[in-house]
C-alpha cells in the first residue's frame, strides 16, 4: 500500500495526491502538518527529518520533496504515459516542474498566505503588492507558452501539469473581494481542461484554506 502523509490543504500534498489519482493507484493518506501536528514526532522525523509534508512510503521506500515524489510515481508507472519517454520532452517537463518550485512558488505564496491564512488586521500590504507584481508576469509568460499548444509539453497531459496546475488552482482561488486577476485566456482554457480530469477531483475542486 502506498502511504502519503500530509494535509490536503497543502499545495505540495495536493500534487502527490493528484498524481496518485491520475495513475489510478491505491493509497492511504494520513493527516499531518499544520493543525494536525504529527511532523515533530520521533516516528515522523525518522521518515522525514525536515518535519514537513508530504512524505511518501512506497512499500518501505521513503521519499520527501513533492515534485520528486511526482517524478518517481510517474517514472515507476511509466505505462500511464505521464513520464515522457522522449528525452527532450522529459526534460522539458522537468524544466517546468523546477520552474514551479524555484520561480513561481516563491513569489506567489506571499499573496496567498496574506489573503487566505492571515487575519485582515494582520496583513502586510507590501508583501501582497510584491507577490502580485512578481506573480502576474509569470502567469503571463505561462499564458503565452500555452497559446501555441494544448499542454505544457507537446499535446498531451504529462507530469509537468501537476505542480503548475496546483499553483494555478491556488492563485485562481484567491478571494475575488481582494484581488481582480488579469484575463489569461490560454491559461484559463488549459486550467479548465485540468479541472475536468477525473484524477483532479478532490484536489483542484477544493476551496483554499
**Which pLDDT band, with edges at 50, 70 and 90, does 1 fall under?**
confident
Average pLDDT value for residue range 134-160: 97
Kindly report, residue by residue over 35-83, the tens digit of the pLDDT: 999 999 999 999 999 999 999 999 999 999 999 999 999 999 998 799 9
The pTM assigned to this predicted structure is 0.96
The domain that holds 62 is classified in CATH as 3.40.30.10
Average pLDDT value for residue range 159-175: 98
- Looking at the structure, do residues 196 and 98 belong to the same domain, yes or no? yes
Residue 208 covered by a domain: no
Residue 104 covered by a domain: yes
Q: What angle do CA 97, 184, 174 make, to 5 degrees?
A: 75
- Looking at the structure, do residues 117 and 66 belong to the same domain, yes or no? no
Domain that holds residue 12: 2-80
- Looking at the structure, do residues 102 and 177 belong to the same domain, yes or no? yes
CA separation, residue 128 to residues 90, 133, 134 (Å): 35, 8, 10
Average pLDDT value for residue range 102-122: 97
pLDDT at 79: 80
Residue 16 main-chain phi, psi, to 5 deg: -70, -40
Q: Show which of 57, 80, 103 is a domain's final residue.
A: 80
The domain that holds 128 is classified in CATH as 1.20.1050.10
Asked whether the predicted pLDDT for residue 209 surpasses 90, the reply is no
Kindly report, residue by residue over 17-35, the tens digit of the pLDDT: 999 999 999 999 999 999 9
- Looking at the structure, do residues 151 and 192 belong to the same domain, yes or no? yes
Name residue, grid cell 511526482: 70
**How many structural domains are present in the chain?**
2
- Looking at the structure, do residues 32 and 99 belong to the same domain, yes or no? no
Host H or E run for residue 204: none
Asked whether the predicted pLDDT for residue 86 surpasses 90, the reply is yes
pLDDT at 154: 84
- Using CB atoms within 10 A of its CB, is residue 102 exposed (0-12), middle (13-18) or buried (19+)? exposed
Amino acid at each position: 500500500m502506498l502511504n502519503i502523509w500530509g494535509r490536503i490543504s497543502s499545495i505540495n500534498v495536493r500534487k502527490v495526491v493528484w498524481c496518485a489519482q491520475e495513475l489510478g493507484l491505491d493509497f492511504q493518506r494520513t493527516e499531518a502538518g499544520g493543525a494536525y501536528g504529527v511532523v515533530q514526532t520521533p516516528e515522523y522525523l525518522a521518515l522525514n527529518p525536515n518535519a514537513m509534508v508530504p512524505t511518501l512510503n512506497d512499500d518501505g521506500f521513503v521519499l520527501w520533496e513533492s515534485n520528486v515524489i511526482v517524478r518517481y510515481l510517474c517514472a515507476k508507472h511509466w505505462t500511464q504515459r505521464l513520464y515522457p519517454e522522449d528525452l527532450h520532452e522529459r526534460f522539458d517537463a522537468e524544466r517546468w516542474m523546477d520552474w514551479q518550485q524555484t520561480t513561481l512558488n516563491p513569489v506567489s505564496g506571499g499573496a496567498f498566505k496574506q489573503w487566505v491564512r492571515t487575519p485582515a488586521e494582520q496583513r502586510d500590504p507590501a508583501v501582497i503588492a510584491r507577490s502580485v507584481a512578481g506573480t502576474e508576469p509569470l502567469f503571463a509568460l505561462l499564458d503565452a507558452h500555452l497559446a501555441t499548444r494544448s499542454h505544457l509539453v507537446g499535446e498531451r497531459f504529462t507530469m509537468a501539469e501537476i505542480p503548475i496546475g496546483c499553483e494555478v488552482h491556488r492563485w485562481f482561488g484567491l478571494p475575488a473581494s481582494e484581488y481582480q486577476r488579469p484575463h489569461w485566456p490560454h491559461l484559463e482554457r488549459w486550467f479548465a481542461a485540468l479541472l475536468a480530469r477525473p484524477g483532479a477531483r478532490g484536489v483542484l475542486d477544493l476551496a483554499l484554506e
